[in-house]
Structure 1
Amino acid sequence: MADYDVVLLVEQALSAADAARVRSLHEALEDPVTYHVLLPVDDAAARVEAAMGTLPSSELLGAPGVLANSADLAAVEEDARERADKALADTLAALTSAGATASGQLVQDPIEALAAKVKEVDGREAIILTQPHVVAEFFHVDWTAQARRKLGVPVLHLLEHETFDEQAGEGEGIQGF
């Protein structure tokens, strides 16, 4: 009996409900299922750059103290790392509580790490759990679209904190009176 390895790429800590939902996808399998969780760490410099990009240039010119120094970036990076460590630990605990066998790691480049992990463990499928990213999904530059182009295994995209029915559109649209 060979392990059925599933690689999970998550944006944030899984709730108990999300972990149970993921586990329910594989309950009928006879082979033991192992989940390999990947959770990206925020890039502090990119976050600062993105935030500064929203400021008008007149704001930047008038406030030379706005530019972050390396000590500020280091503090932001440390905070991001601590939050990611906690989110990963919470996710592994939620999966374990749902009856799963799981391991995990923090990553920098989510799609490269996903591809490498699928290859490393001979993953049978990849599951990406994110919040909705409408613009990225519309232009097919979201994690799921990138992963589908790069991987040779099935890729399932689930929206965090939504049931299967909610993701299928249950209850949406115009209701009759």
Structure 2
Amino acid sequence: MYDVVLLVEQELSEPDAKRVVDLHQDLPEPVKYHVLVPCHNAEAGVEASISALGTADLYGAGLVDQRQELAEAQKAIDSEAKDCTGRSVQRLRALGYQADGGISHDRPIDALRATVDKVTGREVIILTRPHIVAEFFHLDWTNSARRHLGVPVLHLLEQDETGRARS
């Protein structure tokens, strides 16, 4: 089995799924895709924003009262990420390939490394929108994955249903 881990920023479009499987159509062994969708942590995001603004002393205590709303927001975020993963997996399966998927609340590269190790991934494909500044400074997922993983890493730009690059 040739295991490929896909780190995606958002749901695989049909053109993206087709591009991915086209890369492996001539392999002599079966291919299995493992879709990984990073999931934002709502509470950590709010706390980081407050800290970045230097207002933790003013608003930090107010977070205690917001825990229920943050928990509900996290449930909605997780639900959307799971739906995105499910639809992405279904698109790959509809093209005749084995696929599974999951979400992660860990840092994307940490989750990617763990998934590659778990499934003995032989290749990583990262699908994102263009991130020009992060890419320029080599802080993007692809450059980080290349530094931390011992497998080939390919970066593809996401496409919408018409085949145009998403922005």
Same fold (TM over 0.5): yes
Pick the structure with greater CA Rg: 1
User: Contact (CA 8 Å) 1:16, 1:98: kept in 2 or not?
Assistant: no
Q: Distance in 1 between matches of 2:43 and 2:29?
A: 43
Q: Identify the residue that residue 91 of structure 1 maps to in structure 2.
A: 88
Q: Which residue of 1 is the match for residue 7 of structure 2?
A: 9
Identical counterparts, % of pairs: 50
State how many pairs are aligned.
161
Bigger mean CA offset, 41-50 vs 119-128: 41-50
Output the CA distance in 2 between the equivalents of 1:19 and 1:75.
31
CA distance change for structure 1 residues 101 and 45 in 2, over 3 Å: closer, same or farther?
same
Match of 1:29 among 5, 27, 30: 27
**Is 1:106 aligned with 2:100?**
no
> How large is the Cα RMSD of the aligned pairs?
2.7
Question: Which residue type is aligned with residue 116 of structure 2?
Answer: V
Shift of the alpha carbon at 1:52? 5.2
Query: What is the alpha-carbon distance in structure 1 between the residues aligned to residue 23 and residue 138 of structure 2?
Result: 25
Residue 89 of structure 1 deviates from its aligned partner by 0.7
Moved over 3 A (4+): 49-57, 64-68
Question: Which is further off, 39-48 or 74-83?
Answer: 39-48
